[in-house]
Structure 1
Amino acid sequence: MARSAAGIARSAVVETVSVIAGAIIGTLVAAIFGWLFLSLGFATLAASPSVYILALVTVTIFAVLYGYLPATPAVLGSLAVGILLPTVIAKFAFDSTETLATLLIVNLVFAVVALSVYRFVHASGLVRQAASDVADRT
Structure 2
Amino acid sequence: MTRAWYIQPARKSGKRTGGMAERPVQRGAIRLLAMQGIEAVHVPNGTHLAGDRLARIKQMAALRADGLRPGFPDLILFGKQPLQIGFIEVKREVGNELSEDQEDWRDDLIERRFPWAMIRQPEEALVAVREWGWIK
TM-score range, shorter chain: under 0.3
Structure with more of its chain in strand, by fraction: 2
Which protein has the larger Cα radius of gyration, Structure 1 or Structure 2? 1
**TM-score, normalisation: structure 2:** 0.28
Structure with more of its chain in helix, by fraction: 1
**TM-score, normalisation: structure 1:** 0.28
